Amino acid sequence: MRPGKPDCVGTDAVFTAFRVTADKVQQDGPLRVTRGSEVAWPSREGGAENDPGRARVDIIDVNGDGRVQTWTTVSDDRSEAAQASGAPARRQALAQYVERVGRADAEATLLLYSGECDVEDPVGTPVHRGRAAVETFYRGGLSAITGTSPLSAAVVSGNVGAIAFRVELALPDRAIAIEVIDVMTFDDDHLFTSMRAFWGRVNRLAR
């Protein structure tokens, strides 16, 4: 499915859509493999010479048999309607999120969240439900972070946004980096109502 578009339902429909997508997109980074059954990756579609094309993030939930269960695409919507409905403000919020997390500023990061919000970091682990739980998560979880850097452009489609970035961490025994894709939903005030972080062991890099 694409946010705001009809769902693609059934094996035949999903595989047909996947073949069409595979022909028109270029992967823009590695898979983010989660502890759950979902994977995500950034890519680009369209474009020509001197044209990078339109950025997107694909999220696929794969069952134990390796078959696609759900497939969501967040492709950057630059239409006039999207601009009027707040897509630029939402892209800015995603960029601000990466910057604020990078300086380990929990209080500034929390200003980007609504009063009702959830966080699942990484996907496949217990969800932090409610504002109080999210505040506890950020106030306790950012201290090891020493910096962040974007890996791809922020993309926004309807009330869903995504951004890929690198997180640098100084752990007690070593320094590592994690390449992550965070997927957010927004309320009408362009504040986050949920965040899901896509990363797994294969996305951890020694420094």
> Looking at 76, 77, 121, 182, which residue is catalytic?
121
In a domain, 174, yes or no: yes
- Domain count of the fold of the chain: 2
pLDDT tops 90 at residue 166: yes
Give Rg (Cα) of the chain.
17
**What local confidence, expressed as pLDDT, does residue 78 receive?**
84
Instruction: Tell me, yes or no, whether 85 and 34 share the same domain.
Output: no
Where a domain ends, among 32, 55, 75? 75
**What local confidence, expressed as pLDDT, does residue 114 receive?**
98
Confirm whether 188 is a catalytic residue: no
Confirm whether 121 is a catalytic residue: yes
Phi first, then psi: give them for residue 203, nearest 5 degrees: -100, 10
Query: Model pTM?
Result: 0.84
Whose tokens are 């890996």? That residue is: 151
Query: pLDDT tier at 13 (50, 70, 90 boundaries)?
Result: low
**What local confidence, expressed as pLDDT, does residue 35 receive?**
65
> Looking at 97, 113, 138, 182, which residue is catalytic?
97
Phi first, then psi: give them for residue 201, nearest 5 degrees: -60, -35
Instruction: State the amino acid at position 203 in one-letter form.
Output: N
The mean pLDDT value of the chain amounts to: 85
**What local confidence, expressed as pLDDT, does residue 176 receive?**
93
Rounded Cα distance, 120 and 194, in Å? 8
67 versus 205: which is more confidently predicted?
205
